[in-house]
Amino acid sequence: MTSSSPIVIVGAGVLGLCTAYELHRRGRAVLVVDPGGVNASLVAAGMIAPAMESAIDDVSVDRARLFRAGRDLWPAFATAAGIALAHRSAEWRGGDVDAMEARLRALGFDARRDGAGVTTDDDYQVEPTQALTALRQALGEAVVAGKVTTIARTDGGWRLEVADRWLDADAVVLATGAGEAIAGLPESARRLIADIEPIRGQIGVAAGHLVDHVVRGPGAYVAPMASGAAIGATMEPGRRDTAPDAEASERLTQAAWAALGRSPEPLSIEWRVGIRGATAGGLPFAGAAPGEDSLFLALAPRRNGWLLGPLVGSVVADAIEGRTASPHARALDPGRF
């Protein structure tokens, strides 16, 4: 790659901005193209939750180790980027608490019984709005608004059509969420993007203060937020519609009150919907597109975009710079399928 053009990151969600910031702090020239619209990274509670995510999905020890590695990158990354990282406990209530405790311990996470629930101190949280704002501020004028409609290979890299102009890029990172493939992409990348499954996620943002730490239970979680509390979240594969669903709202609300062990109270709740992307194995694509040396992917983290943001950014930046891959890069390699 030449050094005359920037590395262009297409997409300004958590994976795109984390990748851009990682490259920026390594001294690389970057440009982020933000298409605007609903950003699924904002329709989230910002949970960096290797312990609870691993135990809830009953993942393998290797998957739990990767999630833990993602979390371990967060303290230094957050400090550098100006992101407020909260070290809050997370508690599971209801259902089979004994089984939840056993899974946490078997996967190497902290777990202690607190009354009728089990609590871990291995999970963190960020405020999505604050975190994305901090990343954008750290990148400054490197974030521009626009939608990439066409991409074309050149002798020295790529050209991208944005509105009525063309951008030259040394390398391109696709961080386009669950969006469709951009016209002109190589077939190898188009196939991978076509196989990403959209997952509709609905959460509610309640105006009232309900918890001071994350509380999870069968069917819902309640997480503290600057504006009150987040109640979530659905996982609805194959759906791209973004209008809040009243039945889902009621189901989440009832499950949230059950997890809290409280009788329902009147709440002012704003319901939001975001569309996430997921690969067949549930882990994101991070690294070079198969057969390409200057086209990279940072896509499809399922519901773990915040947890894996800095790890994906590091893996992609290493691939761009030709560094030795981290131990977890193979699990995220876009060519693994």
**Where does a domain end: 259, 278, 297?**
278
Provide mean pLDDT across the span 256-285.
95
Structural domain tally of the chain?
Answer: 2
What CATH number is given to the structural domain containing 100?
3.30.9.10
Edge-to-edge order in the sheet of strand 157-162:
148-154, 157-162, 165-169
What is the rounded distance in angstroms from the CA atom of residue 312 to the CA atom of residue 298?
7
Most distant CA pair in the chain: distance in Å? 65
pLDDT at 1 over 50: no
On whether both 180 and 293 belong to a single domain, the answer is: yes
pLDDT at 337: 85
Look at residues 329, 230, 252, 221 and name the one whose alpha carbon lies nearest to residue 285: 329
First to last CA, the chain: 27
On whether both 140 and 267 belong to a single domain, the answer is: no
Q: What tens digit of pLDDT does each residue of 63-86 get?
A: 999 999 999 999 999 999 999 999
| Residue 219 within a domain | yes
On whether both 264 and 317 belong to a single domain, the answer is: no
On whether both 209 and 268 belong to a single domain, the answer is: yes
Tally: H helices and E strands in the chain: 10, 21
On whether both 317 and 215 belong to a single domain, the answer is: no
On whether both 254 and 297 belong to a single domain, the answer is: no
Provide mean pLDDT across the span 191-206.
97
On whether both 11 and 114 belong to a single domain, the answer is: no
Provide mean pLDDT across the span 245-261.
97
On whether both 207 and 274 belong to a single domain, the answer is: yes
| Residue 30 within a domain | yes
**Where does a domain end: 258, 278, 298?**
278
Q: Report residue 4's pLDDT band, with 50, 70 and 90 as the boundaries.
A: confident
Radius of gyration (C-alpha) of the chain in whole angstroms: 20
pTM above 0.85, yes or no: yes
On whether both 271 and 284 belong to a single domain, the answer is: no
| Residue 66 within a domain | no
| Residue 54 within a domain | no
On whether both 137 and 266 belong to a single domain, the answer is: no
* Beta-ladder partners of 85: 126
Provide mean pLDDT across the span 307-324.
98
Q: What tens digit of pLDDT does each residue of 85-102 get?
A: 999 999 999 999 999 999
**Where does a domain end: 233, 249, 278?**
278
Q: What is the dihedral of CA 325, 329, 335, 337, to 10 degrees?
A: 150
Q: What tens digit of pLDDT does each residue of 100-152 get?
A: 999 999 999 999 998 889 999 999 999 999 999 999 999 999 999 999 999 99
Provide mean pLDDT across the span 305-310.
98
Contact present, 189 and 291 (Cβ < 8 Å): no
- The domain in which residue 263 lies consists of 88-122+197-278
Contact present, 122 and 50 (Cβ < 8 Å): yes
DSSP 28-81: --EEEEE--S--TTTSS--EE-HHHHHHHHT--HHHHHHHHHHHHTHHHHHHHH
| Residue 72 within a domain | no
On whether both 154 and 268 belong to a single domain, the answer is: no
Q: Does the CA dihedral 217-223-229-233 come out positive or negative? A: negative
What is the rounded distance in angstroms from the CA atom of residue 84 to the CA atom of residue 128?
10
On whether both 189 and 202 belong to a single domain, the answer is: no
| Residue 1 within a domain | no
| Residue 172 within a domain | yes
What CATH number is given to the structural domain containing 32?
3.50.50.60
pLDDT at 27 over 90: yes
Provide mean pLDDT across the span 251-272.
95
pLDDT at 3: 56
Amino acid making up residue 323: R
In this structure, what token pair is assigned to residue 23?
Answer: 């490259």
In this structure, what token pair is assigned to residue 32?
Answer: 């982020």
pLDDT at 135: 98
| Residue 203 within a domain | yes
Task: Give phi and psi for 328, each to the nearest 5.
Answer: -95, 0
